[in-house]
Amino acid sequence: MVTDGLATTAKINNVRFQFDEETRLKYLSITLAALVLAMPAALLAHGKEDHNKSKIVTVKKEQKAWGIAGDAKAVKRTIKVGMADNMRFTPNAIEVKQGETVRFVIANNGKIMHEFVIGTKTELDEHAAMMLKFPNMEHDEPYMAHVEPGKSGEIVWMFNRAGDFDFACLIAGHYQAGMVGKIKVVAASMPFGARKS
Ligand SMILES: [Cu+2]
């Protein structure tokens, strides 16, 4: 029995060794191929394109419960939002119509970094918990703007779904301190402002 056990182990080790060697060689060739392919492309991209420009062009339009990235051309309304170090947004309640594309101009009137992130309460709760765990986690989506003190940021968002949503600053501690606001998206079929809450 013991001999059998040893033989099996040896076999397993032998197999594992072969597998490792094969994987290693495969990995090496893939890495080399990737390097050769990636290098000219990377050099080309750096020489030709402006980084910010290409970032705006490639904004992904992913449908969210609270809407979708909007087109600047479709903007008919601009909403100014102020952020302050007392962990409050001004205004802290916004009402829009379903189908409306809004440009948010978000001013950071404080002395520390703030951000404006739109979402459902559930998603913002989860995201805020992540930010508390990993304060330096980088995040960027078309429904959020990170704004340095004294600066302004902009986002263009299309509210194509009715409902009650939130906006928040997810910087560690800010959300927990109450840096949250409300967005009500009134269904297109209802008169503006006539919705019962
Ligand atoms: Cu903040």
Cβ < 5 A residues, ion ligand 1: 114, 169, 171, 174, 179
Q: Compute CA 157 distance to the chain's CA centroid, rounded to the nearest angstrom.
A: 14
Which class would CATH give 61-186?
mainly beta
Find the mean pLDDT for residues 89-114: 98
What is the distance between the alpha carbons of residues 68 and 58, in angstroms, rounded to a whole number?
14
**For residue 10, pLDDT beyond 50:** no
Count of alpha carbons within 13 Å of 74, Cβ hemisphere only? 14
Count of alpha carbons within 13 Å of 182, Cβ hemisphere only? 7
Residues 6+ apart with CB under 8 A from 188: 97, 98, 99, 162
Specify the higher pLDDT residue, 54 or 100.
100
Q: Output b/e per residue, 102-111; b: 16+ Cβ within 10 A.
A: bbbebbbebe
- What the block records as the tokens of 141 is 């989506």
Cβ–Cβ < 8 Å for 158, 74: yes
Give residue 97 CA to ligand 1 midpoint distance, Å.
27
Give residue 145 CA to ligand 1 midpoint distance, Å.
11
pLDDT score recorded for residue 137:
85
Cβ–Cβ < 8 Å for 160, 67: yes
Give residue 29 CA to ligand 1 midpoint distance, Å.
47
What is the distance between the alpha carbons of residues 187 and 74, in angstroms, rounded to a whole number?
19
What is the distance between the alpha carbons of residues 10 and 73, in angstroms, rounded to a whole number?
69
Give residue 18 CA to ligand 1 midpoint distance, Å.
54
pLDDT score recorded for residue 169:
98
Give residue 33 CA to ligand 1 midpoint distance, Å.
45
Question: Bridge partners of 184?
Answer: 95, 164
Give residue 169 CA to ligand 1 midpoint distance, Å.
5
pLDDT score recorded for residue 116:
98
- What's the whole-model pTM score? 0.68
**For residue 105, pLDDT beyond 80:** yes
Find the mean pLDDT for residues 59-67: 89
Give residue 171 CA to ligand 1 midpoint distance, Å.
6
Q: From the CB of residue 59, how many other CB atoms can be counted at a distance below 10 Å?
A: 15
Residues 6+ apart with CB under 8 A from 49: none
